[in-house]
Chain A
């Protein structure tokens, strides 16, 4: 019981972190048809900047806000300089965003030093609750709550606001949206910035969770993000949440019960989904 609870909470927490990464990727792909391999770089920058802001302010709230600010600025720069010139060309997108990913990674080393950095859990989130024999680590619960909160906020924006409506319409038919008088390029920019901020929040939450941050972490997690986008259905926000939780939970159980399979299992899930539902669990387009 205790073990299962812990594995589940751990899996959910990991799932939420992957969701924050995948959410931006799926929106950017769904709406803009852009393959953004630099997305993990924004996750890593979110982690580093939150640690920097935390050291400066001693407030985890400000640290997360600092990460969001970093996400907004980097998102703006990335869309304007890197993505905009390659709309509509997947090969160029892959090449230029992979290149930019390396630049973002190297820049982290230049700014924050080449060594990995140890991170402490914020003071008021340290510790655990004991319920019977079950010990629940507070910070993991915190990640799960923030993940659902972010999902709720974005889902509200997508479902209930005019800009959200325009984004959903744009995912379905860009050309039509433009003929209705909407400047899709502005919408692209907002969505890209929103996606970058989500990745940065993910990075900020990841830092105390893993206890250590390093420049290459973005690359590692971006791969999980891509897997989740494919499983969830490209362009589907709820699909990403579900797929991320699935990958998080299965990863957590497998790491304990069948550790030899824990790396391969994500690929296996993806392959199974692709065989039975090539469009992913949720279908956004069509």
Chain B
């Protein structure tokens, strides 16, 4: 059980606002760690802070034993972290192929093999290979965002609410894909859909008002009706 990412007592300020006020959790290699919490709890900001987009004002973030707290975003990405933002961040007027290409640092055999693998997982992307990213459906954009983060040679993927706004049948596909990708990479997943979160998460971290409330095994949370009601409004 190797700790790949360690977030330790992190605070983040955006302008004058004190958004994160003590976030701590770990991502274990080969697992899916889920961040849970109400709207506005600070889940997205946590991912952005890991990536240096909204840098931490306090605390420490280590990835593969490297302190990345103060590194610039591109440097953090290059240590092996891929990002799938909430709005997917597709380059609308670039083709699917070009969207993937921006992320590919090299075009060596290993990277091309990764691309082959991920395109087999999302055959739609192959179909629309020469089509502009902006013309894809919501589900296809989600797939492209995940595929793009994956080919960037990432050891860790940060995925923000991949099920948001998608039809149930598409959610099913995305979920299957994440479970498959898990064989190749570690994942930190923000997910409001508890059914999805509980099916693919190994561990969870509960965030409320910018603070970590508790962490543990997903199996345990599934049966903890009290916590689910209090922090997630379900159960």
Contact = CB atoms under 8 A, between A and B. Distances in A.
Contacts of B148: 180
A169 to B, nearest CB: 5
22 contacts: A162-B101, A165-B94, A165-B98, A168-B94, A169-B98, A169-B102, A172-B91, A175-B73, A175-B89, A176-B85, A178-B77, A179-B82, A179-B85, A179-B89, A180-B148, A181-B74, A181-B77, A181-B152, A182-B74, A182-B102, A183-B74, A286-B92
A177 B83 contact: no
Interface string B85-124: 1000101111000100111010000000000000000000
B66 interface: no
Nearest to B134: A286
Contact of A169 (B53, B77, B82, B91): B91
Contacts of B40: none
Contact of B83 (A168, A179, A184): A179
Residue with the greatest number of chain B CB neighbours at <10 A, chosen from A162, A172, A175, A183: A172
Interface of B: 51, 53, 72-75, 77-78, 82-83, 85, 89, 91-94, 98, 101-103, 105, 134, 148, 152
Contacts of A284: 93
Contacts of B94: 165, 168-169, 172
Nearest to A162: B101
A159 B35 CA distance: 39
Given A172-B93, A180-B148, A165 B102 contact: yes
Nearest to B145: A176
A173 B53 CA distance: 13
A178 B74 contact: yes
B54 to A, nearest CB: 11
B197 to A, nearest CB: 23
A78 to B, nearest CB: 23
A166 interface: yes
Interface residues of A, number: 19
A184 B102 contact: no
B53 A177 contact: no
A255 B193 CA distance: 66
Nearest to B153: A181
Contacts of B53: 175, 178-179
A181 B78 contact: yes
Contacts of A173: 89, 91
A183 B92 contact: no
Nearest to A159: B98
Interface string A259-286: 0000000000000000000000000101
A178 B83 CA distance: 10
Contacts of A183: 72, 74-75
Given A165-B98, A175-B53, A181 B91 contact: no
A90 B152 CA distance: 33
Nearest to B88: A176
Contacts of B91: 168-169, 172-173, 176
The 6 closest A-B pairs by CB, nearest first: A181-B77, A176-B89, A178-B73, A179-B83, A181-B78, A183-B74
Contact of B102 (A166, A175, A286): A166
Interface string A140-177: 00000000000000000000001001101100110111
A32 to B, nearest CB: 16
Residue with the greatest number of chain A CB neighbours at <10 A, chosen from B53, B83, B91, B101: B91
Residue with the greatest number of chain B CB neighbours at <10 A, chosen from A175, A181, A182, A184: A181
Contacts of B73: 175, 178-179
A179 B102 contact: no
A180 B152 contact: yes
Given A178-B72, A182-B102, 12 more contacts: A165-B102, A169-B94, A172-B92, A172-B93, A173-B91, A176-B91, A177-B102, A178-B77, A181-B78, A181-B105, A183-B74, A286-B92
B77 A180 contact: yes
